[in-house]
Amino acid sequence: GEDSLKPLLIAITLVTAMFMGCTFNAMSIIGEKEDGIDFINEILPMSTGQYMLQKTVLGFAGGVLSTMITALVCVRMPFAQWGVMLALVALSAFSAAMAGLLIGRLAGGLMVGIIYIKVVMILFIAPPILFYLAVPADGTVRALSYLFPSSATFYGLMDLQSGRMESMGLYLLVLLGHCVVWLMACIGPDFVRKLKTSQHLA
């Protein structure tokens, strides 16, 4: 009935809000590419690391703020659980911000960027809902669903709303793993390039 749909709709709304950081980062970087500002950035003393940090902080902060404000309005739960909610949101927003950074760097132009964002957004929002509704909680398929960064977020949000806390550690661990993987995907190529350059110079 309506009561069982409400937590699901709230979880979908919150996951969508978390994705804001991805869109913001990607569009910000693509916009600069279109304007030619990225060429200026390459000449400026700002390193790639500083540039990425600046973008990530903005996208991450936007994602966390929009999600927590939405959560405060929509979700009723004990005060003690808000810390877990913040951890869940922060890790998810970080993954989303990293995904946005990657899209921004890979996309050559605005249209390609928008297509990438839409595809990632569908992958971010649709699979967890389908897994949650169609797959038993203790099956292998549910375990595989953790390959999508938002699955752990989604299950965590559903559990928080019903007061179930026993799987929270697992969800946070999965999200932490995703943060590391996305971060490596973003900084890995630069690290390899720097390593090759230093070897050539040596």
Distance CA(157)–CA(149), nearest Å, equals 13
Residue 170: per-residue pLDDT: 94
Q: How many angstroms from the chain centroid is the CA of residue 72?
A: 20
3-class SS of residue 111: helix
Token pair belonging to 52: 């990425």
Q: Which amino acid is at 123?
A: L
Q: And the tokens for 34?
A: 């279109």
Quote the pLDDT of residue 46. Answer: 63
Farthest CA pair distance, the chain: 69
pTM, two decimals, is: 0.84
pLDDT at residue 154 in the model: 92
Backbone conformation region of residue 164, classed left if phi is above 0, alpha if psi is from -120 to 50, else beta: beta
Q: What is the pLDDT of residue 37?
A: 66
- Segments of the chain scoring below 70 in pLDDT: 1-2, 37-48, 202
